[in-house]
């Protein structure tokens, strides 16, 4: 994204956020976000897209985000993102409370739950009107691209994505699904 599109304070905040995710084991990638029908990459893109490979350490994130004022993509390595419509998201959020990193996109009220890989079957998610974002080959053909825009990002299609349960509240751990057997024996 050209530096002229955002202010210096925003550039610094993006860099600090990217570093914080990477330092805590959440891979990030530079994200290009088209705005008002124009894409900073110069092509006729309408959807956000990655501008580089995943970054897994704070020092590398510092370099990448110092070079350009990129938005941030969270790359689904080490977690999957369960993306569900509001009728499931609100109920699931109520059940999980503060045990699962959770984000929400206001337009369309999509809920994102960050889960341990393999926690959900993509076809089951699809039947509920959801999408499973995963880089895992085990996620199968029903899984979507292996990244999501980090909360704080404003997309024309969703508005400002925001954390409801920030990952620091779960010690940067995605949610590990448990069933009744797990609850009794753990």
Do 40 and 85 reside in the same domain of the chain? no
Do 58 and 88 reside in the same domain of the chain? no
Owning domain of residue 62: 3-75
pTM of the model: 0.88
pLDDT in tens, 154-181: 998 889 999 999 999 999 999 998 766 5
CA nearest neighbour of 48 among 26, 74, 67: 74
pLDDT in tens, 62-114: 999 998 889 999 999 999 999 999 999 999 999 998 999 999 998 889 999 99
Q: How many domains does the chain have?
A: 2
Angstrom distance (rounded) from CA 147 to CA 75 = 4
pLDDT in tens, 13-40: 999 999 999 999 999 999 999 988 889 8
Contact 122, 142 (CB under 8 A): yes
Pull the structure tokens for residue 182.
């797990």
Question: What element of type H or E holds 73?
Answer: strand 71-75
Angstrom distance (rounded) from CA 116 to CA 36 = 36
Phi first, then psi: what are they for 160, rounded to 5°? Answer: -75, 120
């Amino acid at each position: 994204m050209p530096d002229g599109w955002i202010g210096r304070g925003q550039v610094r905040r993006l860099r600090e956020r990217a570093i914080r995710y990477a330092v805590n084991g959440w891979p990030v990638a530079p994200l290009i976000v088209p705005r008002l029908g124009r894409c900073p990459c110069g092509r006729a893109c309408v959807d956000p897209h990655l501008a580089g490979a995943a970054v897994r350490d704070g020092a590398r994130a510092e370099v990448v985000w110092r070079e350009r004022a990129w938005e941030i993509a969270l790359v689904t390595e080490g977690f999957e993102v369960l993306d569900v419509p509001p009728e499931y998201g609100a109920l699931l959020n109520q059940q999980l409370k503060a045990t699962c990193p959770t984000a929400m996109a206001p337009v369309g009220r999509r809920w994102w739950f960050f889960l341990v890989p393999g926690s959900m079957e993509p076809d089951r998610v699809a039947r509920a009107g959801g999408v499973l974002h995963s880089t895992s080959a085990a996620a199968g053909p029903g899984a979507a691209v292996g990244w999501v825009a980090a909360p704080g990002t404003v997309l024309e299609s969703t508005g400002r994505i925001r954390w409801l349960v920030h990952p620091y509240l779960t010690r940067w751990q995605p949610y590990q699904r448990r069933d009744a057997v797990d609850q009794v024996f753990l």
